[in-house]
Amino acid sequence: MASFNQEEFNRFVLDNNVVGFFEQPIKLKSRRMSNWYVNWRNVVEDVFLLDKLTDYLIAFVLDLGLEPDCFYGVPEGATKLGVLTQYKWAKKSPKYAPHSHTLPMGKGKPKSHGTPKDKYFVGEPRGKTIVLEDVTTTGDSLLTIIDNLTESKISIIAAFGLTNRMELRDNGQTVQQAIESKKVPCYFLSNALELIPEVYKRSNPGEQIARAIEKEFQCYGVEKIKLV
């Protein structure tokens, strides 16, 4: 498999309209208002594009020299990403055989009773696990899943996000700092500071939106962004 190519991956993100702008700000899951979005839904709903995305992800893992037994997608945004990546990873393994690899999937709403295995999972991750998320803003969903997996005694060797919005948490930490404080290495395949200027050039939404996004990054950003 070819090495991960950052420029090519960013172009994949842009060509499939994963990042874009709102004329009027909307409230995100993080409860923050924003004039721009990161949405991987159009990609993960398309078989061809999801297949391509998992190829990029596996190439990224191989470039890092990681050797996971299992990929697990954060419910529900990265569930399909986790399932297909795990399936392809298992099929490529020289150890591929009956009972060699699990196909885990998490529950969007944990059961209020039972063992952690039944509480959080439809198929529990097994072995060295990489946790996958599509978009991180404050990282709360990813952090919760890491806690759930830790409770279930699952070995997490890394957490990956497809796109980092590059925003600080309310306590001033970056998402990466918060995750790595739990002794989990954290990696992102793309980030907003690289993507937004390119989307702005392509779509030219106007100075008003540019100023609104610049203001967002002054308030929440890991660093400022300059569009106009």
Q: Which region, left, alpha or beta, applies to residue 103 given φ > 0 means left and ψ of -120 to 50 means alpha? A: beta
Q: How far is CA 173 from CA 137, 168, 178, 186, in A?
A: 12, 6, 6, 14
Tokens of 212: 């609104």
Q: Encoding tokens for residue 208?
A: 């008003």
Widest Cα–Cα separation across the chain: 58
3-class DSSP assignment, residue 132: strand
* Cis upstream peptide for 76 (omega within 30°): yes
pLDDT tens digits for range 147-195: 999 988 999 999 999 999 999 999 999 999 999 999 999 999 999 999 9
Burial classification of residue 226, based on how many CB atoms lie within 10 Å of its CB (0-12 exposed, 13-18 middle, 19 or more buried):
exposed
**pLDDT tens across 105-133, in order?**
988 777 766 666 667 788 899 999 999 99
Over residues 8-40, the pLDDT tens digits come to: 999 999 999 999 999 889 888 888 899 999 999
163 neighbors 195 (Cβ within 8 angstroms): yes
Rounded to two decimals, what is the model's pTM? 0.93
